[in-house]
Structure 1
């Protein structure tokens, strides 16, 4: 019952925020299940969550083995080591953490089909975070163009660890502005129509600033 209530509340918050922000695209809810059991992941799917997110290859493959590859969309949301690409790249629908050319090269080598990727951008500039620096995004995308199996559908970022909503908002807004700049270049391999940003504590702010994918764990799975 807790999961059912959580999903209903989160969906209501997403819908209310989208309406308030006049968000034209439907926001995709990714249920982040990295810290919960397969049973909890199943419950999320039973309540209509259509996408699950994992940040470790082992966790993703374990849940997928029990739930099934075709049971939902599978999103890899953590930093992906180059040596582990072969484990997961054909088991996912989206990668949210493309952050270096070496990773693009390995995807090209290991993927059976083109992979939908978000380029991770370190908007906040924190040393603890992975991601391309904003000023390097165009050169990075230009270089990624040589790998046909890497389809850049959007940009992703993580907000800084702060309670200052304005600081968080500025990070999300900066990513949206950067996405708009990318769209103006009309890269064939990088349409960049999507923005992956916002987690349990800040997804409403993210939606107000243009998020189309939100990665939510805690408020979905808490008892």
Structure 2
């Protein structure tokens, strides 16, 4: 086992545990998804051996190359933007897709037989044009439209925090998603089953936990620095 990954996993778990306890959350309530983008299959094996149970990838092509060469059971997450021409591959490779962002995409997923998977609706709560996701004010209507038109079950919401060192902006983005999550949870609509509030990455996951996240997506704090252009997971 690569010692640095094992040590990093232990540190992340401890930071998550402390954030849970400090914010009145149940220990173990927050899931950690290790984002292995640009790292090889051995890095995934090492992370899983250290206790990571969920692995996320941004790109279909990378997952296709790496997942067959891994060992150990782990849940596979698609966290990057999903192109409609790659839906079939995504459904074959992943257990949960975080990036449903339109009714059109959801219909294509349903047509491709994705009803046995879990899906999150991606919401752009930062307002940054460079990010994917629907507008916050469209979220509740979109949830109902997707479940009504496709029969898919939507299991949660996901957002990427703003690229900012301004904590107030980060908190605002996360609070928007938590408010939408609570509103969606209160809907008595078939197909809306809010289990996952996926927000928080390496730079801001403790803030996300404070604001209610129960799933954080951690790359750099587990796997180390990347040398290729990337989102700073």
Q: TM-score, structure 2 length as denominator?
A: 0.91
Any conservation in 1 of the 2:199–2:215 contact (CA below 8 Å)?
yes
Written as runs of structure 1 = structure 2, the 5 A alignment for 1:1-223 is 1-24=3-26, 26-67=29-70, 71-111=73-113, 113-145=115-147, 146-148=149-151, 150-222=152-224
Runs of 4+ in 1 over 4 A off after TM superposition: none
Displacement of 1:191:
1.7
Q: TM-score, structure 1 length as denominator?
A: 0.95
Q: For each residue in 1:24-57, what CA deviation from the matched residue of structure 2 results, as whole angstroms up to 9, or x when unmatched?
A: 4611110000121111111001101011000100
Q: 3-state SS of the aligned residue for 2:193? A: coil
Any conservation in 1 of the 2:78–2:98 contact (CA below 8 Å)?
yes
Unaligned runs of 5+ in 1: none
Displacement of 1:4:
1.1
Q: 3-state SS of the aligned residue for 1:119? A: strand
Report the Cα distance in structure 2 between the residues aligned to 1:219 and 1:158, rounded to whole angstroms: 16
Q: 3-state SS of the aligned residue for 1:89? A: helix
Unaligned runs of 5+ in 2: 226-233
Q: 3-state SS of the aligned residue for 2:156? A: strand
Q: For each residue in 1:75-99, what CA deviation from the matched residue of structure 2 results, as whole angstroms up to 9, or x when unmatched?
A: 0000000000011113211100000
Q: 3-state SS of the aligned residue for 2:56? A: strand
